[in-house]
Chain A
Amino acid sequence: VKARLTELLARALRVAARLLPAPRREWAEAVQAEASLLPAGWPRLDWLAGGLWMVLKEANVVRKVIYWLGIGAVAATAAWAMWLSWRAAQVADAEAVTDRVRILVVATAMLGLPWVARRHGWFGPVASTVPARLTRVWGCAAICGIGIALLRADSHAGGNAIGLKGGFSALHEVAGLVLVAALVAVPLIVRARRPSVDPSTLWSITGVAGVSAWMLLPLQLLAVGYVVAVLFATSRRAPLASTQLVVGMIAGVVMGLIAYGLAGLADQLLPVYLGLLAIITLAVAGTAGALAAWLLPDTAECGELREACIRQGLLAGAVAGAAGALLLTNLSLFLFFTMIIGPPAGLVGGALGGAFAAMHPLKRGPDGARAWGLFVSGS
């Protein structure tokens, strides 16, 4: 058995070595050459197993497997959702047909965007930090969850999950999709062909295409916007630090749970609930913004520090608003409108929190430690 296993591992090592870039392959060959000089049995087996592990780590095989499993999970979820939709929804329900198209568009964006922009790294690969990876998985799962909840609601006779009436219009869908494609492709093409073009021109093109697409396909664009935001915020080029992601995500979950706990009010007193929702978002995002700013490492200039605090708060607040809205919509589709108002409200709250933190910096001790009540953080 040992001899067979040794042969198997040696063959696996030879095959796996091909995954490495050419200059790295000699290390796998070195392990193989050394293995043949070791005593047969466990020592050789152990040596080859270690070599195989080294090659798999060097070739980032584990990361690639997880990446493809993620892509497979999104594709399988989309396919399963479509199958459920066809089986369960009313055949003539126009809204159900529209929802299928919406979900297909979102799934396509989730799978396609990292591939389309891979050269520039805007949406992929994911940043190599744990918070970024967890946020990406959580965000994609939450968006998939909304799609499934939508189809589930469609499966009830006459059910229209989010209260928007209207028949299916192929013309709207096609025109909207063309505009979304233009939204992504035109700035890239213009920038590639004319590198000296004024950025304001690019923003104008993107803005016009975006507004037009929004008018035609408000919900698709909202969902695609969330996909773009999740992928971009967790990519290697993202301007968000791990601190902002962690603080923003925790605050978003807290916000979502509080708002969902009070959702019973929405049926009876909608204006009161909306007011409460705004206050909760501002308060939680503000706290997140202040925390993210307080966790900022010191910068030299006072003015620079203030700007950095507000920027940290702004980004953490936006993350909190978006994460809270995604969670809330997953818990109750009726609250989908929070996906529109959540991020801007979080942005405002976060900026206020950041500004507050800039005005009230935490006192530092002589050894550079910050006072945190019971806790003291070292520097």
Chain B
Amino acid sequence: MQRRAAFSAQTLAVLAALAGQPSAWRHGYDLAQETGLKSGTLYPILVRLADRGAVEARWEEGQPAGRPRRHLYRLTSDGLAAATAARAVAVAGPGSRPAVSRRAAGRAPSARRLAGDGT
């Protein structure tokens, strides 16, 4: 029986988006736009990644004028290692490639980038 990938295509897309700028704090809508994921998919992934210690979250400091404070996210060192490992698996070839569905991969540009597609 083929082993399932540790991360789904959507999770890989989120990891790739965060790993693109590892030191920057990103907000939800920004990640949603980059990954093409809806909030109902993106946030549960962020919750799970935060639970696993792969993502750290904090609220924006100070009260910005005319808008509420945003919740911000970035990868921890463990998360960055996990993202790098996932990328290595994705580019290693079909045998070790995680089971990423064509539809999900096509929808999520970050997943393609993670797999080294370059498109």
Interface residues of A (CB under 8 A from B): 24, 26-27, 29-34, 36-38, 46-54, 57-58, 378-379
Query: Which of B38, B44, B68, B71 is A36 in contact with, Cβ under 8 Å?
Result: B68
Q: Are A33 and B70 in contact (CB under 8 A)?
A: yes
Closest to B28 in A: A34
Q: Are B1 and A50 in contact (CB under 8 A)?
A: no
Closest to A47 in B: B39
C-alpha spacing A152/B10, complex, angstroms: 54
C-alpha spacing A41/B68, complex, angstroms: 19
Nearest 8 Cβ contacts at the A-B interface: A50-B40, A30-B71, A50-B39, A53-B40, A378-B1, A33-B68, A34-B28, A50-B38
Instruction: Determine whether B21 belongs to the interface, using a CB cutoff of 8 Å to chain A.
Output: no
C-alpha spacing A48/B28, complex, angstroms: 12
Q: Are A33 and B69 in contact (CB under 8 A)?
A: yes
Interface centre among B1, B27, B28, B42, by most A CB within 10 Å?
A: B28
* Binary CB contact string for chain B from 91 to 113 against chain A (1 if under 8 A, 0 otherwise): 00000000000000000000000
Q: Are A57 and B29 in contact (CB under 8 A)?
A: no
B1 to chain A, nearest CB (A): 4
With A27-B43, A50-B41 known to touch, is A37 a contact of B71 (CB < 8 Å)?
no
- Chain B, interface size category, equals 20 to 34
Q: Are A29 and B47 in contact (CB under 8 A)?
A: no
A47 to chain B, nearest CB (A): 5
Instruction: Determine whether B4 belongs to the interface, using a CB cutoff of 8 Å to chain A.
Output: no
Across-interface contacts of B29 in A (CB, < 8 A): 34, 37-38, 47
Closest to A36 in B: B68
Closest to B45 in A: A54
Closest to A377 in B: B1
- Additional A-B contact list (10), CB under 8 Å, known A31-B39, A47-B39, A378-B2: A24-B47, A26-B57, A27-B43, A30-B70, A33-B69, A34-B27, A38-B29, A47-B38, A49-B40, A54-B39
Q: Are B38 and A31 in contact (CB under 8 A)?
A: no
C-alpha spacing A26/B68, complex, angstroms: 13
Closest to B2 in A: A378
Number of A-B residue pairs, CB cutoff 8 Å, is 65
Q: Are B44 and A46 in contact (CB under 8 A)?
A: no
C-alpha spacing A312/B15, complex, angstroms: 42
Interface centre among A32, A47, A58, by most B CB within 10 Å?
A: A47
Interface centre among A34, A36, A57, by most B CB within 10 Å?
A: A34
Across-interface contacts of B27 in A (CB, < 8 A): 34
Closest to A57 in B: B44
C-alpha spacing A27/B44, complex, angstroms: 9
Closest to A24 in B: B47
* Binary CB contact string for chain B from 1 to 34 against chain A (1 if under 8 A, 0 otherwise): 1100000000000000000000000011100100
Interface residues of B in 27-80 (CB under 8 A from A): 27-29, 32, 38-44, 46-47, 57, 59, 67-71
C-alpha spacing A54/B41, complex, angstroms: 8
Across-interface contacts of B41 in A (CB, < 8 A): 50
Across-interface contacts of A51 in B (CB, < 8 A): 39-40, 43
Across-interface contacts of B67 in A (CB, < 8 A): 36-37
Across-interface contacts of A49 in B (CB, < 8 A): 40
With A24-B47, A37-B70, A58-B47 known to touch, is A30 a contact of B40 (CB < 8 Å)?
no
C-alpha spacing A37/B69, complex, angstroms: 10
Across-interface contacts of B44 in A (CB, < 8 A): 54, 57-58
Interface centre among B32, B38, B43, B68, by most A CB within 10 Å?
A: B43
Q: Are A33 and B71 in contact (CB under 8 A)?
A: yes
C-alpha spacing A379/B3, complex, angstroms: 10
Closest to A33 in B: B68
Q: Are B71 and A29 in contact (CB under 8 A)?
A: yes
B110 to chain A, nearest CB (A): 18
C-alpha spacing A51/B42, complex, angstroms: 9
Q: Are A26 and B43 in contact (CB under 8 A)?
A: no
Closest to B60 in A: A33
Across-interface contacts of A30 in B (CB, < 8 A): 28, 43, 57, 70-71
C-alpha spacing A54/B59, complex, angstroms: 19
Closest to A32 in B: B68
Query: Which of A46, A47, A379 is B1 in contact with, Cβ under 8 Å?
Result: A379
